[in-house]
Structure 1
Amino acid sequence: MKSFYLFCAAIAASLLLLAGCQKPDTCTQVSKYTIYTPVFMDIADLRKAVKSEAPHTIQQPGKIYLLGHYIFLNELNKGIHIIDNSSPAAPKIIAFVNIPGNVDMAVRGNILYADSYRDLVTLDISNPAAIKEVKRLEDVFTNRQQLFFTAAADPNKIVVDYELRDTTMTSNCQTIEMIVMDNAVAYQSTKAPSSASMALGKGGSMARFALLGQYLYTVDITSLSAFDIQQPLTPVKKSKTEITGGIMGGGMIETIFPYRTNLFVGGQRGMYIFDASTPESPAMKGRFEHAQKCDPVVVENDLAYITLRAGNTCSPNQESSLMVLDVKDIMAPKLIKSYPMTSPYGLGIDNGNLFVCEGATGIRFMNADDPAAITQLAQEKGLDAFDVIPHNKILLVTAKDGLYQYDYSNMLQPKLLSKINITVKQ
């Protein structure tokens, strides 16, 4: 699976000088580049594009969300696959919702919230095979620019893709060449509607949004935003809080996880705990800093589990690990123990059953009843795992080659129930 951060890393790597030569009286250098030519879409066309369609093949999956017997699987920047999971051994894709620029989604009751580049889209999913847009909040996600990118010059257009072309350039050694790009394929997200009596879904650990009470919280690379969703169809943005340690502090904010009245925000430089008891303006109460690494977090029984992935854009010279923290006192989180890992991505926790995605190494099935003595019970190899959702002894796993489901009622011998294959784009 191609992630946004791997995409950024490829761009950054393409700007490095790869070769050079010297002569007694002159110096030239040969630089290799990948040129990214932006593909534009009119905002007006973008805002008319949401529609329910027949099932599509899965080509580049992103985030997952689970509600009842339905799985919602993002197709990166394209839309959402709707999967009937009444039988986990035989899941069936029943529809695709075309949503340009979609990365995240969440569901409560019959309402699905999804991002569409700048906008927050509200969808009626009472008939999952014929989902309809019922409301759009325009320009609520204004921070669409990412590292290495700038905004489109025309405010009536948005960059929806890039055409790639490799090239080389010879220049004087004293000349610094740079490629200017016009925007980015972005993220941003939302999480869903109204009253506490409505059925609430469950997202993975890589989410950039969280639903808590009557509020929706989203994170971008530097900040936390709060939306009042007491009226499910008309969210109202209430506040935006800059997070110390964001990109200006040396690391991007990456994930958010709700627990009780708190929000646990994962970033490349640490975990930040926000008290949301005043929901319209959550306040940071505690933090736990670490070396710069990629950092999703999940919480159960006042214990926070954080995977720290080194390498690539995260931290090329550090070791990967799983950290367990006591967060009963949110103002003073304490490290219980750190466990070495290979290359961890998403993770999940369910009644002491811990699941860690390890990329090409597969998935670790672990017993976390004693946080100071976590043990591995099993490991599933042969899949490049990205994120998980454990629920009712069924583990959903997004991987490079498909959507997997495992029965983990026996953690020593997890059983593969099904796999929906991904069709690799040629």
Structure 2
Amino acid sequence: MKNLNSVFVSLIVLISAIMLNSCQDEVTTTHTYRAMVPVYLKMSDVRARTIVIEPGQELENPGKIYLYGNYLLINEPQEGIHILDNTNPASPVNLNFIPIQGNVDLAVNNNMLYADNFVDLLVFDISNIRSIKLVERVKDVFNHMYSSSDTGIILTFKDSVITSESPYGFMGRGFFMADSRASFASNLSGAAQSYGQGGSMARFTLMSGHLYAVDDYSLRVFDVKAPSNPKHVKNIELGWGIETIFPFQEKLFIGSNSGMHIYDAKNPGNPTKMSVFEHVRACDPVVVNEKFAFVTLRNGRMCWNGVNELQVVDIADLYKPRLVKAYPMLNPHGLALAGDYLYVAEGQHGLKSFNVANVMGIDQNQLEFLKSMKSVDIIPGPKSLIVIGPDGVCQFDYSTPSKLKPLSCINVKNPVTVQ
């Protein structure tokens, strides 16, 4: 027993010595692992750059479209805005390109072009289209669209191989930070004469001297009665999944992936909620007339497992919207309404047109199905029907609604697949 006690004491002494030694000389191990690492951008660097207007450029990845007088504006997502002279829709002229990092949406009010620049709102004077000038920058009004830290805003995450040293074999804090942040998003009618006209996929819209901008979960209100000097008025929380906004007769119809929100904007600086028409989870642009709202629902990579259909909603009572009828579609994206005629962008499948005078028989009144016209959104302008898709931007004479007549197409260099 005495020998066993001696051995036990010896072991205790040996372990204590090792522990004391380890406190003096820390043991480190090297680890190599994969992680999603944030890509940062400092807004101070973005703001320091001078925006120089460039000559017209080829379309590469067209996003939002916007019509202002005789000008057609086409957003190049995250890159900037193309401006074309569309006096003759059969022969549009590419005038210039405004390079704007992080640009997603746009609107025009009395010759003032509003465009997002990551977290800032920019104002350009386009009264002289040959001499466009940046006249105002409203800072940090869209910072909700980006995760951020002291390092800057997070644009995206990249898959990286990381090698680090850490004591006692534990991985460093950086790995857990990158892993936990990977779930954050990295990514935003008939108008008055002084305003332009956007498509049904727009997140910016103008009405009653105010600019309204929606993001994933809120409505941002700006007073633009002084067009060159927008004032951020307030934010209105709407709930997650907000996608589009459409103005009509002092009302705002806001599409989300779970329903259509209706807001009363008679007091334009303080829109108030009237109702929400709920539907299954799916992407959801909307256009309206005096009696009905036409809503397209689709599934897809960013649209959950929703249905593909056109829903007609009775809005006679804006506080109690109700579904009238739903029609199956292939994969509908944006849509446009011109009188009794509805145009539906069916993504990769083409472009459809309907007479919707009888909302109970829309499926029996399809006018055309242009399968070669891959389409994402549509603007029914005073001179032409403007259709944007992965292959470019095309215009049609739609004076005879039952037979669209091609006028022109601006093709992109490298077409992509519609999502």
Correspondent of 1:402 among 362, 374, 392:
392
Matched-pair contact (CA < 8 Å) for 1:63–1:104: yes
Q: Quick check: 1:382 aligned with 2:335?
A: no
Supply the distance in 1 between the matched residues of 2:157 and 2:106 (Cα, whole angstroms).
24
Letter of the structure 2 residue corresponding to residue 115 of structure 1 = D
Supply the distance in 2 between the matched residues of 1:126 and 1:310 (Cα, whole angstroms).
41
Supply the distance in 1 between the matched residues of 2:407 and 2:210 (Cα, whole angstroms).
36
Matched-pair contact (CA < 8 Å) for 2:391–2:415: no
CA 1:296/1:62 → structure 2, altered by over 3 Å: closer, same or farther? same
Matches within 5 A, 1:310-325: 310-316=299-305, 318-325=306-313
Deviation at 1:51, TM superposition (A): 2.5
* Deviation string, structure 1 residues 368-414 (Cα, Å, up to 9, x no partner): 11222222100111232111101225111111011111111222221
Supply the distance in 2 between the matched residues of 1:385 and 1:90 (Cα, whole angstroms).
20
Deviation at 1:166, TM superposition (A): 11
Supply the distance in 2 between the matched residues of 1:419 and 1:207 (Cα, whole angstroms).
22
Supply the distance in 2 between the matched residues of 1:161 and 1:287 (Cα, whole angstroms).
32
Letter of the structure 2 residue corresponding to residue 42 of structure 1 = K
Look up the match of 2:329: 341
Look up the match of 2:412: 422
CA 1:183/1:270 → structure 2, altered by over 3 Å: closer, same or farther? closer
Look up the match of 2:237: 242
Matched-pair contact (CA < 8 Å) for 1:397–1:405: yes
Supply the distance in 2 between the matched residues of 1:132 and 1:298 (Cα, whole angstroms).
33
Supply the distance in 2 between the matched residues of 1:50 and 1:38 (Cα, whole angstroms).
26
In structure 2, list runs of 5 or more residues that go unmatched: 1-32, 163-175
Matches within 5 A, 1:194-209: 199-209=194-204
Bigger Cα Rg: 2
Matched-pair contact (CA < 8 Å) for 1:307–1:322: yes
Count the aligned residue pairs.
365
Deviation at 1:198, TM superposition (A): 5.3
Supply the distance in 1 between the matched residues of 2:112 and 2:51 (Cα, whole angstroms).
15
- Please give the secondary structure, in 2, of the residue aligned with 1:205: coil
Look up the match of 2:123: 122
Supply the distance in 2 between the matched residues of 1:221 and 1:182 (Cα, whole angstroms).
15
Q: Pick which of 44-53 and 414-423 moved more.
A: 44-53
Letter of the structure 2 residue corresponding to residue 207 of structure 1 = A
Look up the match of 2:151: 154
Higher helix share: 2
Letter of the structure 2 residue corresponding to residue 256 of structure 1 = I
Letter of the structure 1 residue corresponding to residue 249 of structure 2 = R
Look up the match of 1:46: 46
Deviation at 1:186, TM superposition (A): 2.6
Look up the match of 1:83: 84
Deviation at 1:219, TM superposition (A): 1.1
- Please give the secondary structure, in 2, of the residue aligned with 1:385: coil
Matched-pair contact (CA < 8 Å) for 1:350–1:391: no
Deviation at 1:42, TM superposition (A): 3.3
- Please give the secondary structure, in 2, of the residue aligned with 1:372: helix
Deviation at 1:56, TM superposition (A): 1.5
Look up the match of 2:353: 365
Supply the distance in 1 between the matched residues of 2:76 and 2:83 (Cα, whole angstroms).
11
CA 1:198/1:314 → structure 2, altered by over 3 Å: closer, same or farther? closer
In structure 1, list runs of 5 or more residues that go unmatched: 1-32, 168-175, 188-195
Supply the distance in 2 between the matched residues of 1:255 and 1:204 (Cα, whole angstroms).
10
TM-score (norm 2): 0.81
- Please give the secondary structure, in 1, of the residue aligned with 2:358: coil
Matched-pair contact (CA < 8 Å) for 1:259–1:299: yes
Matched-pair contact (CA < 8 Å) for 2:61–2:77: yes
CA 1:70/1:368 → structure 2, altered by over 3 Å: closer, same or farther? same
Matched-pair contact (CA < 8 Å) for 2:308–2:330: yes
* Deviation string, structure 1 residues 49-107 (Cα, Å, up to 9, x no partner): 42311112211111010011110000111110001111111111110001111111111
Look up the match of 1:299: 288
Deviation at 1:185, TM superposition (A): 4.7
Supply the distance in 2 between the matched residues of 1:184 and 1:425 (Cα, whole angstroms).
25
Letter of the structure 2 residue corresponding to residue 380 of structure 1 = L
Deviation at 1:152, TM superposition (A): 4.6
CA 1:347/1:45 → structure 2, altered by over 3 Å: closer, same or farther? same
CA 1:36/1:277 → structure 2, altered by over 3 Å: closer, same or farther? same
Quick one: percent identity of the two aligned structures? 40
Deviation at 1:36, TM superposition (A): 5.8
- Please give the secondary structure, in 2, of the residue aligned with 1:46: helix
Matched-pair contact (CA < 8 Å) for 2:76–2:82: yes
* Deviation string, structure 1 residues 353-377 (Cα, Å, up to 9, x no partner): 1000001111101111122222210
Correspondent of 2:257 among 268, 272, 297:
268
Letter of the structure 2 residue corresponding to residue 406 of structure 1 = F
Supply the distance in 2 between the matched residues of 1:363 and 1:179 (Cα, whole angstroms).
42
Q: Pick which of 405-414 and 88-97 moved more.
A: 405-414
Supply the distance in 2 between the matched residues of 1:392 and 1:166 (Cα, whole angstroms).
54
Letter of the structure 1 residue corresponding to residue 86 of structure 2 = N
Look up the match of 1:288: 277
Supply the distance in 2 between the matched residues of 1:378 and 1:425 (Cα, whole angstroms).
24
Look up the match of 2:56: 55
Q: Quick check: 1:218 aligned with 2:200?
A: no
Supply the distance in 1 between the matched residues of 2:50 and 2:399 (Cα, whole angstroms).
42
Matches within 5 A, 1:98-177: 98-145=99-146, 150-155=147-152, 158-160=153-155
Correspondent of 2:401 among 393, 401, 411:
411
Deviation at 1:347, TM superposition (A): 0.4
- Please give the secondary structure, in 1, of the residue aligned with 2:143: coil
Deviation at 1:312, TM superposition (A): 2.7
Look up the match of 1:332: 320
